[in-house]
Amino acid sequence: MPENVEIIQNKPLGGDYYRLTVSSQSLSRATPGQFAHLLVQSQQEPPTWDPLLRRPLSIYDLEGDKASFLYRTVGRGTKILARAKPGEKLDLLGPLGRGFQLGAAPTLLIGGGVGAAPMLFLAHTLHERGQEFAVLLGARSAQELAHAGDFAKYTSAVFLVTDDGSLGRQGIVTDFVPEIIAQFSAIPKLCACGPMPMLAALAALAAKEKLALDVSLEARMACGVGACLACTCFLRDGNTARVCADGPVFPYEVLDWRG
Ligand SMILES: Cc1cc2nc3c(=O)[nH]c(=O)nc-3n(C[C@H](O)[C@H](O)[C@H](O)COP(=O)(O)OP(=O)(O)OC[C@H]3O[C@@H](n4cnc5c(N)ncnc54)[C@H](O)[C@@H]3O)c2cc1C
Ligand code: FES
């Protein structure tokens, strides 16, 4: 059932990034890696149904009934969302999808760009469970890592990498995974979200080094609940899966990386 939630904060972070906080009963039962499907219609009279389709956003963090989202403005829907003000209402559906499988293993959380979004909630949960974990965040430049400070609440093991070297070390996240893994007490499981080339490079590394890797995929979505097949991805066994309902998190080895 959709919920009409109140916006508490919608804060520009720098670059195209924003953090949105809402008060939501339904999202208070979310687990890390799940997402909400938001209606982002502009507030105008008479009310409009445009854009018609909801936009999926990962749950960035959860404190009681306060859920937050980290989002980047890329098109019409997210630009409308960036204009939303505290006190306004937003229609959302969630929590949706299957998130990260939590085990006892140490974990390396890897977020590329706005792929950091599902990682803060995962860090929060691993911190509460007292598990060993570290966070590796990459972006094009420092301007796109304004959210990195949020992770300090849950761990001091945060490694930053930028393409231009303007914050942290210069390079791409996959350059640094082996040396960070070596700092763990035991080989960690990798949990990653970010651009497809980054996920594919991590999948190749995981296959070569026999690492466990869960990836959170993005796909264009319509219904968000498994009914329309708009978000299909291909599996290694020749079948397909729905990113919205069977994912967005999948063990890398079930996915077909050849496409
Ligand atoms: C499960 C899931 C979780 C997501 N979580 C987040 C998040 O936490 N923060 C965040 O900023 N974004 C997230 N996204 C991506 C986000 O949903 C899209 O950026 C958003 O829907 C774009 O809407 P728009 O109207 O602004 O852009 P549109 O006008 O629809 O598109 C503008 C541009 O964005 C690209 N785009 C649109 N939808 C997607 C998509 N789903 N994935 C990748 N590129 C897309 C288009 O190809 C186009 O180039 C998530 C996507 C999924 C599937
Ligand atoms: S968006 Fe409809 S099945 Fe996934």
At 20-62, the pLDDT tens digits run 999 999 999 999 999 999 998 766 666 666 787 899 999 999 9
Residue 77 lies in a domain: yes
Residues 71 and 151 occupy one common structural domain: no
Least distant ligand from the CA of 13: 1
Residue 143 lies in a domain: yes
Residue 240 lies in a domain: no
* pLDDT attached to residue 175: 93
Residues 159 and 185 occupy one common structural domain: yes
CA 91 to CA 39: how far, in whole Å? 5
Residues 10 and 31 occupy one common structural domain: yes
Residue 51 domain boundaries: 3-96
Residue 218 alpha carbon, nearest atom of ligand 1: 53
Q: What's the whole-number mean pLDDT along residues 109-114?
A: 97
Side-chain half-sphere exposure of 16, counting CA atoms within 13 A: 12
Gyration radius of the chain's alpha carbons: 18
Pocket test for ligand 1, best of 73, 74, 220 (most atoms within 8 A of CB): 74
Number of domains, the chain = 2
Residues 41 and 112 occupy one common structural domain: no
8 Å CB contact between 177 and 136: yes
Phi, psi of 82 (to 5 degrees): -65, -20
Residues 73 and 15 occupy one common structural domain: yes
Residues 81 and 175 occupy one common structural domain: no
| Last residue of one domain, picked from the residues 96, 127, 149 | 96
Residue 249 lies in a domain: no
Residues 111 and 87 occupy one common structural domain: no
CA 68 to CA 88: how far, in whole Å? 15
Residue 243 lies in a domain: no
Residues 82 and 118 occupy one common structural domain: no
Residue 56 alpha carbon, nearest atom of ligand 1: 17
Q: Higher-confidence residue: 51 or 246?
A: 246
At 170-215, the pLDDT tens digits run 999 999 999 999 999 999 999 999 999 999 999 999 999 999 999 9
Residues 79 and 180 occupy one common structural domain: no
Residue 176 lies in a domain: yes
Residue 234 lies in a domain: no
CATH of the domain at 179: 3.40.50.80
Residue 188 lies in a domain: yes
pTM: 0.95
CATH of the domain at 35: 2.40.30.10
Ligand 2 pocket member 228 (CB < 6 A): yes
32 DSSP β-pair partners: none
